[in-house]
């Protein structure tokens, strides 16, 4: 069995979505003063490697704590577009993977953009789904769709059509994945367990894959 961590480290200097604030990791208690260490963590619910609930952008959408725990683990496969010079992933780009998609709970879109983490290029020009491609994916029995970029929508969007196409089908969205190159099997188990807080519109996760080798 091979386990691969697919999660970025949370720190105060990490990239965050434009308009939000980086996390604050403050020393609340210290060994010298209190005899133990404890940290006060202040951060947005969509910080780092995280998942979006339908409630993130839908007034009547489910929160993460409305889902059963099995919605956050399942069979997955990677659709690799990291070596293709494309800006948008359309239906024709996805159709060659149709038989693979039918077999899994999670699809991960590999753009290769995680290598730019910490660089301004991370926010620019990564391949993203078209609205039509997102609609096509809703025809499968998917629990979630992930990407190794900061958003599953194009960064220039003001309407977030891809998010709003997937969310009514209760397809959760996983963003800012990393280490996809380390996964060697065509199919594997993906775990993306969120924090269990009330009315969670999103949550950082410790994403990891499990492969049989």
Alpha-carbon distance of 79 to 75, in angstroms, equals: 14
Dihedral sign of CA atoms 178, 40, 173, 117 in order? negative
Count helices and strands in the chain by DSSP H and E runs = 5, 13
Active site residue 8: no
- The pLDDT, as a whole number, for residue 112 is 96
Contact 56, 163 (CB under 8 A): yes
Q: What is the mean pLDDT of each run of 10 residues along the chain (213 residues)?
A: 97 94 96 96 97 97 98 98 92 96 98 95 94 98 98 95 97 98 97 97 98 91
Point out the catalytic residue in the list 8, 50, 56, 163: 56
Q: Could you give the count of Cα atoms lying within 13 Å of 23 in the half-sphere of its Cβ?
A: 20
- The pLDDT, as a whole number, for residue 213 is 83
For the chain, list the domains and their CATH numbers: 2-211 (3.50.30.50)
Which among 36, 10, 1 is positioned nearest to 207, based on CA atoms?
A: 10
Strand 188-191 and strand 73-80: pairing?
Answer: antiparallel
- The pLDDT, as a whole number, for residue 76 is 98
């Amino acid at each position: 069995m091979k386990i691969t961590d697919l999660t970025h480290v949370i720190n105060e200097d990490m990239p965050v979505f434009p308009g939000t604030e980086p996390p604050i990791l403050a020393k609340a208690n210290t060994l010298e003063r209190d005899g133990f260490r404890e940290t006060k963590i202040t951060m947005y619910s969509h910080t780092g490697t995280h998942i979006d609930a339908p409630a993130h952008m839908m007034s009547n959408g489910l929160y993460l704590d409305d889902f059963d725990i099995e919605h956050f683990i399942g069979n997955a496969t990677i659709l690799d577009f990291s070596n293709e010079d494309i800006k948008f992933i359309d239906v024709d780009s996805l159709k060659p993977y149709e038989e693979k998609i039918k077999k899994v709970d999670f699809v991960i879109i590999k753009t290769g953009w995680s290598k730019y983490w910490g660089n301004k290029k991370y926010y620019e020009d990564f391949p993203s789904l078209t609205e039509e491609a997102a609609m096509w994916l809703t025809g499968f029995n998917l629990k979630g769709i992930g990407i190794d970029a900061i958003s599953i929508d194009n960064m220039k969007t003001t309407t977030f059509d891809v998010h709003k196409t997937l969310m009514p089908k209760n397809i959760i969205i996983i963003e800012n994945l990393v280490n996809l190159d380390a996964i060697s099997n065509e199919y594997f188990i993906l775990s993306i367990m969120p924090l269990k807080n009330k009315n969670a519109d999103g949550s950082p996760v410790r994403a990891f894959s499990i492969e049989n080798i």
